[in-house]
Amino acid sequence: MEILIRDTPEAGAKVGASVVRKIIQTKDKPVLGLATGGTPLRMYKVLIRMNQSGELSFRNCTTFNLDEYGGLPPENKRSYHYYMMSNFFDHTDIDKKNVHLPDGYAEDLRETCRKYENLINDAGGIDLQVLGIGANGHIGFNEPTGSFASRTWVKILSKQTIQDNSIYFDKLEEVPRHVVTMGIATIMESRHCLLMANGAKKADAIRKMIEGPVSASCPASILQMHPRVTIVLDEEASYLLTFKDHYKWVEKNKLDWQLY
Ligand code: GLP
């Protein structure tokens, strides 16, 4: 795991954007896996600036989002469709026909999930998967104890995630109970993962993910088995790491081409 620690979330967002830029600049038809939540918002702002200044184009990109709430139409302001359009896609030159999100509002959710897996395969797989992490160690909406072999499917949120995500809704009761998410196996097939986390609330999950045993009790810990993962943390999210000094030492001694 490549662990990059920065003083502030803003500095982390710039690193995240540089990782995305590098992938886009080295591939003819980059396929990006994208995430929602509060964490990647700053990175999307940096990417929008790069796009609007002419430094970076998303015209050749195809995107697949990680997850979506069940039962919310795309125009609902709490849906991840709405989030992605309003916080990112609408401000870039991306061709919207290459943008994909799971359809949590579909009548046949099982069919939606199967189709989503096929679409990812047809695009040639995901080059870079952007990830956040839940306070309980979830990635996408894969909650603790879910199978590491899971594919895109319908999942039920834990009470903790419903509570955590209720800040984005008017009332706790409005948070959907069911969701559609890429599975852990789907995420693990992407060629490179970029996980970002900020704040002390994430510190325990970060410690378990990086230094704990690989266990379905912390779904993100499976990333220890992925050959190419970049983790960008602010100081607060990294404060429980036993080997924090070592991660900083490693970064300081990297070769030029290994830096972002
Ligand atoms: C949601 C999303 C996850 C995200 C997590 C953390 O549950 N499904 O993909 O990583 O929230 O969100 P935040 O960045 O707001 O802390």
pLDDT at 158: 95
d(CA 135, CA 129): 19
By C-alpha distance, which of 170, 175, 171 is closest to 158?
175
CB 137 within 8 A of CB 208: yes
Three-state secondary structure readout of the chain: CEEEEECCHHHHHHHHHHHHHHHHHHCCCCEEEECCCCCCHHHHHHHHHHHHCCCCCCCCCEEEECEEECCCCCCCCCCHHHHHHHHCHHHCCCCHHHEECCCCCCCCHHHHHHHHHHHHHHCCCCCEEEECCCCCCCECCECCCCCCCCCCEEEECCHHHHHHHHHHCCCHHHCCCEEEECCHHHHHCCCCEEEEECCHHHHHHHHHHHHCCCCCCCHHHHHHHCCCEEEEEECCCCCCCCCHHHHHHHHHCCCHHHCC
Q: Say if 128 falls within a structural domain.
A: yes
At 10, which CATH number?
3.40.50.1360
pLDDT at 144: 97
Q: Say if 253 falls within a structural domain.
A: no
In the numeric block, the tokens 């015209």 are attached to 59
Ligand 1 touching residue 34 (CB < 6 A) = no
CB 123 within 8 A of CB 62: yes
pLDDT at 226: 98
pLDDT tens for residues 34-66? 999 999 999 999 999 999 999 999 999 999 999
Q: Which domain holds residue 151?
A: 2-245
Q: Say if 85 falls within a structural domain.
A: yes
State the closest ligand 1 atom to the C-alpha of 133, by its place in the atom list counted from 1.
Answer: 10
Using 70 as the pLDDT threshold, list the residues of the chain that sit under it: none
Q: Tell me which long-range contacts 168-175 makes (C-beta under 8 A, separation of at least 24).
A: 168/78, 169/78, 174/78
pLDDT at 49: 98
Domain count, the chain: 1
Ligand 1 touching residue 67 (CB < 6 A) = yes
pLDDT at 63: 98
CB 14 within 8 A of CB 47: no
Half-sphere exposure of 257 (CA within 13 A, CB side): 0
Q: Say if 251 falls within a structural domain.
A: no
State the closest ligand 1 atom to the C-alpha of 157, by its place in the atom list counted from 1.
Answer: 7
From the candidates 103, 143, 189, 235, which is the catalytic residue? 143
Ligand 1 touching residue 39 (CB < 6 A) = yes
Nearest CA to ligand 1 atom 3: 140
> Does 143 qualify as catalytic in the annotation?
yes
Q: Say if 259 falls within a structural domain.
A: no
pLDDT at 185: 98
Q: Say if 186 falls within a structural domain.
A: yes
> Does 28 qualify as catalytic in the annotation?
no
Q: Say if 147 falls within a structural domain.
A: yes
By C-alpha distance, which of 208, 209, 206 is closest to 239?
206
Q: Say if 124 falls within a structural domain.
A: yes
